[in-house]
Homo-oligomer: A and B are copies of this chain.
Amino acid sequence: MALDLTASSVELTRAICDIPSVSGDERVLADEIESALAAYGHLEIIRHGNTVVARTSLGRPQRVVIAGHIDTVPINGNVPTRDVEIDGTPHLWGRGTVDMKAGVAVQLKLAAELTAPEADITWMWYDNEEVQAEKNGLKLLADERPDLFAADFAILGEPSDGRIEGGCNGTLRAVVRTRGVRAHSARSWVGENAIHGAAPILSRLAEYRAREVTVEGLGYREGLNAVAIRGGVAGNVIPDLCEVDVNYRFAPSKSIDDAVAHVRAAFDGFEIEIVDAAAGARPGLDAPIAQRFLAAVGGEAHAKYGWTDVARFSALGVPAVNYGPGDPHLAHHDEERVPLAQIEAVERGLRAWLTTS
């Protein structure tokens, strides 16, 4: 059954949630989207792998990108979707309802409906957001078709509880290591215990007080955390290696170099390996087009803490914000569900902005 882009955004959310599209398995949904959009002559369609781009070319003075990923984390007994009522409020329950097919449904509906928006729009629906970065459909598209990313502003439909969340923190992963000398644990004094040697690493982490950094009016709360620790050879051996995986979340005003220097200072005296790092994204809410977006949607912008693909736009010089239905705390949750009213509110917000000069 073909997707009906004239259905309500709630019905469209239900329809695309019920087409499973766990990362790596997005082809069927991408085909459905491409084929549904083909009926709309105001859109030029570009297919790139399982990423579908649709854009208007009305010669407007400004262009915006509006994007969302079509993959989900694995299904866990939560497809097909169902209607549930929570505290008297109707919700759509199931995998993808929050992260982020409700956002995609709103975008698909508006892509079909808005034949003459106030700004030209490049819509992007991409695959493999929930897996390793090198498979990310938005990244692959940016690598091969950076021209498609030329825009004045970008909106990513990631769940933000229907609020505007500007930019995002950067993220850095490092391994902090201690080394020792193996020995039989019955003669521990012959060796040197690498796990004991890690005591100051954990103490520094426990005592660390994260800062809140204001960037372009939004407060970004940082964090420095151990996300894993491992060490040990056998039950009767003094371990010669202990590794602490550390994750540093840093404000978008800091460069990757700043973040590396901060982590090196925090664990001064220890062996540190920087595993990977991704810069954050400035919120860019001072641009006039962003101000118009804020005014149209209403409410107040907040800082986004988690790293999202907005940083890819930011790296290309395009200010970007997150704006989508669904509580981000329920993303990936097996009880993932979205209030129907929030889907409709985001649809109204985007429509108001895109149709108001």
Contact = CB atoms under 8 A, between A and B. Distances in A.
Interface in A242-263: 242, 244-245, 247, 249
Q: Could you say how many copies of this chain the assembly holds?
A: 2
Interface stretch (A38-46, A89-97, A219-227): A219-227
Given A195-B202, A247-B236, A185 B231 contact: no
Interface in A149-204: 169, 171, 173, 184-190, 193, 195-199, 202-203
A247 B183 CA distance: 13
A227 B189 contact: no
B223 A227 contact: no
A206 interface: yes
Given A185-B225, A185-B227, A305-B187, A206 B210 contact: no
Given A230-B230, A235-B173, A225 B196 contact: yes
Contacts of A203: 199, 203
A196 B185 contact: no
Interface string A287-328: 000000000000000000111000000000000000000000
B239 A226 contact: yes
Contacts of A223: 185-189
A79 interface: no
Interface string A255-298: 00000000000000000000000000000000000000000000
Given A195-B226, A227-B234, 4 more contacts: A184-B306, A187-B305, A226-B239, A228-B239
The 8 closest A-B pairs by CB, nearest first: A228-B232, A199-B202, A186-B306, A188-B223, A195-B226, A196-B206, A186-B305, A199-B206
Interface of A: 169, 171, 173, 184-190, 193, 195-199, 202-203, 205-206, 210, 221, 223, 225-239, 242, 244-245, 247, 249, 305-307, 329
